[in-house]
Structure 1
Amino acid sequence: MHVSEAMHKQVQSVLPTTRVSEVAKLMKKQDIGAVPVTENGRMIGMITDRDLTVRVLADGHDASEVTAREVMSPGATFCHMSDRIEEAVRMMEKHKIRRLPVMNADDKIVGMLAIGDITHCGSRPLAEELLRAVSGHHA
């Protein structure tokens, strides 16, 4: 099975200048835990619900003044639509990430692959392996 068959096809992204209060509202409205940050049509980072908690709230910042660029995880690991699910899972395991942006041949973001998508594509052993890899305790 290819990533294109399992991924969520609708992905919303934000600009680096977007205030994190708006990012949080988008996460709530869409019921999602990660939002890609794009600039000039290219993904430059990712903001997760954990980023908001650790880099904004825990540090006492005002979410209406902090921008996406200030709290995003820069760069990003991603896969392509044509990749096999197993390849994407290995990437997620290696980088210990729960959500993997999906790009088309032009490196434009077209989807998101999450642990739940792996479980729904029918490979329970692969999903269990991924869950163990990304949720292990830190040494």
Structure 2
Amino acid sequence: MATTTARDIMTGGAQCVQAHESAFDAARKLTELQVGALPICGENNRLVGVITDRDIVVRVLGKGLAPAEVETGTLAQGEAVTIGADDGVDEIFATMTQHKVRRLPVIDGTDLVGMVALADAARALDTPDAGRLVAALSTD
């Protein structure tokens, strides 16, 4: 039996919000695409991070900042956590658990090819592993 990979379970065609675009632009794009997270791309479309709907609420609105004036690139924290398109579900599980993230950009070489979410990984894991993944990500 072949190993299930990120490529098998990801949502393809991930769209970036550019680092120079505003949090307001990101919120609009999140709404249009009906997703909870977007990769942030900088120069040459290089991945610099991920912005979530929660980031906009907590780090922009919650601090009284104007979403139209906050660039998404300033919300990227450290190096972007990614998964390779051909990495298996066990690697996805380990990466999500280690970095306490619920969504991972999927890259093939240096190209962004999709996003894999907690729900995608949980569906691909055996039931006990799925429970461990959810538990690991639900703790502080």
TM-score of the superposition, structure 2-length normalised?
Answer: 0.90
Would you say 1:118 and 2:116 are equivalent positions? no
Q: 1:19 pairs with 19, 22, 34, which one?
A: 22
Report how many residues are paired.
Answer: 136
Residue 115 of structure 1: CA displacement?
1.0
Residue 29 of structure 1: CA displacement?
1.5
RMSD between superposed Cα atoms in Å: 1.3
Residue 50 of structure 1: CA displacement?
1.7
| Equivalence for 2:137 | 134
Contact kept? 1:118, 1:126, Cα under 8 Å = no
Flag structure 2 segments of 5+ consecutive residues without an equivalent: none
Within 5 A, what are the aligned runs for 1:48-59? Answer: 48-59=52-63
Task: Give the partner amino acid of 2:102.
Answer: R
Residue 112 of structure 1: CA displacement?
0.7
Q: 2:31 pairs with 14, 17, 28, which one?
A: 28
Please list the CA deviations of residues 76-116 of structure 1 after superposition, one character each: whole Å capped at 9, or x if unmatched. Answer: 11110111111111110011100011100x22110111111
| Equivalence for 2:86 | 82
Please list the CA deviations of residues 108-138 of structure 1 after superposition, one character each: whole Å capped at 9, or x if unmatched. Answer: 11011111112333633222211111111x3
Flag structure 1 segments of 5+ consecutive residues without an equivalent: none
Structure 1 runs (4+) greater than 6 angstroms displaced: none
| Equivalence for 2:107 | 103
CA distance in 2, matches of 1:57, 1:122: 36
